[in-house]
Amino acid sequence: MSEPSLFNMAQRQLDLAARKLGLDETTHALLREPLREFRFQLPVRMDDGTTRLFKGYHVQYNDARGPAWGGVRFHPSETLDTLRALAAWITWKAAVMDLPLGGSKGGVVCNPKGLSVAETERLARAYLRTLVHHLGLTRDILAPDVFTGPQTMAWMLDEFESIAGEKHPGAVTGKPLPLGGSRGRDEAIARGAVAALREACKVIPIARPDALSYAIQGFGVAGEHAALLHPEILGGGLLTAVSDSGGGIYNPRGIDPRRLVQYKIQHGRVAGFPESEPISQTDLLELPVDVLYPAALEQVISEENAPRIRTRVVCELANGPTTPEADEILRRNGVFIIPDCLANAGGMIVSYFEQVQNACNYYWTVDDVNRQLEARIVQAFADVCGMQRRYDVTMRVAATMAAVAKVAEAMKLRGWV
């Protein structure tokens, strides 16, 4: 049975939260769809002198609480449906973390691995030029996402400032440090997730947080940092399984995270890591570990495999890895879920800190960033737990309710509804 579209999944999550909150029909309807969407074609001159057309999209979901913020993705399978869902989740994430931001998401349908550096730069600048009148510090702030990074953001910032004729470093986040980026940005998603896990250990409760076994499905930037930060923040831990797009590895006696990160850098994959055996993505998800970090694709935990999930805690580094049907199954089976809008909000939080630093022209130490990041996570976790106990719902529903209530309040104060 095929999974529903990602945006349909996001809407169903919203519908449940809206019913629990008793939202009026108009407010609910306004929150179910993006406020604005852009579709466009980007003509880009290639290195061989030809011109190629690339499809681009940008979704501004809701900006009642402040200017939109969201990443730009370069991916061959990018769809408007995915971007709508991600923009919605970013809107809720900002509200859960009490950031004065809304949610957006953009993307270009392309194979970035097939583009030269010069072609990628021209594509990034073309994207910015097309949307420039809808972007900026008071409208919509861009950030890196799939197959984009600090260098892509540097090109976009330069294009924006060239058109504006003045400096606006806060118009783009996730920039390189010399252009006003923030320290701590690379590890922010993972640091926030492990900090949320530490708070969850107090609620469940877990007697020995420093002795938890954990597995990571998806060993990209967030997954790598989670592998390293889990034992640092919790005081210990046993990494038993890891996978990436090239396969998975398993060792019940433990995998050294630092050695694995170095191996991935050298070989480009985790498969073949010494003293480990191969494991499939499916089998990794179903291992009897204390903590499972899904850090790759959407909808990997579904109604079909949820009954076989044997972890105690799912900490969602990825966006939308668990379907609504799986949520309910996991809850019945006693699995504690730290939902994505809590677990992976660190990148958004530190991007907001980057804006603050840009505005003040004063830059924090990494210790300052990490301390402020963890404080936001701790407060948000406590708020969501309070909502969860009050309404006797899952943590995801509680987080969505907390977020939707804040966005709905802002819309009412503005007179939109």
Q: Is residue 404 part of a domain?
A: no
pLDDT bin (cut points 50, 70, 90) of residue 1 is very low
148 and 210 together in one domain: no
User: Are residue 65 and residue 162 in the same domain, yes or no?
Assistant: yes
Residue at token pair 């550096």: 117
The DSSP bridge partners found for residue 315 are 338
* Calpha distance 223→233 (Å, rounded): 15
**Does a structural domain hold residue 325?**
yes
Looking at the chain, the whole-number percentage of residues with pLDDT higher than 70 is 99
Cite the active site residues.
Answer: 105
Domain shared by 67 and 157, yes or no: yes
AA identity, residue 214: Y
**Exposure string (b/e) for 399-415, b if CB count within 10 Å is 16 or more?**
bbbbbbbbbbebbeeee
Compute the distance between CA of residue 75 and CA of residue 19 in angstroms, rounded to an integer: 35
3-state secondary structure of 324: helix
Number of domains in the chain: 2
316 plus 195 within the same structural domain: yes
Going by pLDDT thresholds of 50, 70 and 90, the confidence category of residue 2 is: low
140 and 63 within one domain: yes
Residue 228 lies in a domain: yes
pLDDT of residue 299: 87
One domain for residues 303 and 200:
yes
Supply the pTM of this predicted model: 0.94
Q: What residues contact 283, with CB distance under 8 A and at least 6 apart?
A: 248, 250
| In the predicted structure, residue 386 carries a pLDDT above the cut 50 | yes
Q: Answer yes or no: do 224 and 280 share one domain.
A: yes
- Give the CATH number for residue 291: 3.40.50.720
207, pLDDT greater than 90 = no
Same domain, 166 and 234: no
DSSP notation for 135-192: -BTTTEEEEE-TT--HHHHHHHHHHHHHHHTS--GGGB-S--GGGT--TT-TTHHHHH
Same domain membership, residue 227 and residue 115: no
* Residue 253 located in a structural domain: yes
Residue span of the structural domain in which 307 resides: 188-343
Please identify which residue in the block is written with the tokens 């050298």: 266
Residue 244 sits in the same domain as residue 320: yes
Phi-psi region at 46: left, alpha or beta (left = phi > 0; alpha = psi -120 to 50): beta
- Asked whether residue 53 falls in the same domain as residue 111, the answer is yes
For 70, the enclosing helix (H) or strand (E) is strand 68-75
State the DSSP code for 3. Answer: P
Express each pLDDT in 242-263 by its tens digit. 999 899 999 999 999 999 999 9
- Residue whose structure tokens are 């466009």: 40
- Sorted by sequence, the CB contacts under 8 Å of residue 96 that are 6+ apart come out as 341, 342, 345, 380, 383, 384, 399, 402, 403
